Amino acid sequence: MRPRVGRTLDGVTEIEIRVVRFDAPVAQQLIRDALADLGARYGGTGDDTPVDAAEFEPPDGAFLVAYLAGKPVGCGGWRSHGVDTAELKRMYTAPAARGRGVARTVLAAVERSAREQGRKRMVLECGDKQPEAIAMYTSTGYEQIPNFGFYKDAEGCVSFGRTL
């Protein structure tokens, strides 16, 4: 997958999406920031879901980073969840970049990547203390599904899915 520009403003590239390795330093810094944000909302480490960098390697997954003015400001990835389904993981936008379409651009790129690898459905786990994420997912066509995964029995877990 080549880098993709999500939006432009007056002809100047605003958001650039790059595919990176999950274990790349830029990805790991954004993931640490994401986990710190989740930790502030929920306590603890933020997310104890077992994740292996190898799960985000094509054709079974991918990890993407969003850049604004050359600076990494967001990320998201997918890993296989069965044969035809992808699981969205580690979606994050830095606070200074929120409200500029970064998350929607990342989500669209993650979905495109999963479709390109033959996935027909995307699922995700979210928490009820992330109202902005829930609003974005529902406004982009995600519907609540039965909980699954690491937090399926946790209080406040909300799962979503959508056909790609």
Sheet of 61-68, strand order:
4-9, 12-20, 61-68, 71-80, 85-93, 121-127, 157-163, 143-145
Tokens 């969840």 -> residue = 81
* Cβ(137)–Cβ(126) below 8 Å: yes
Domains in the chain (CATH in brackets) are 4-119 (3.40.630.30)
Residue 116: which H helix or E strand, with range? helix 102-116
Q: Please give the model's pTM, rounded to 2 decimal places.
A: 0.90
Output the pLDDT for position 142: 98
Local structure of 42: helix, strand or coil: helix
C-alpha span between 89 and 126 (Å, rounded)? 10
Output the pLDDT for position 47: 87
**How many residues are recorded in the chain?**
164
Strand 12-20 vs strand 4-9: parallel, antiparallel, or unpaired?
antiparallel
Output the pLDDT for position 11: 46
Mean pLDDT by 10 residues, the chain (164 residues): 47 81 98 95 89 96 96 98 96 95 97 98 96 96 95 93 98
* Model confidence pLDDT, tens digit, residues 1-11: 444 544 444 44
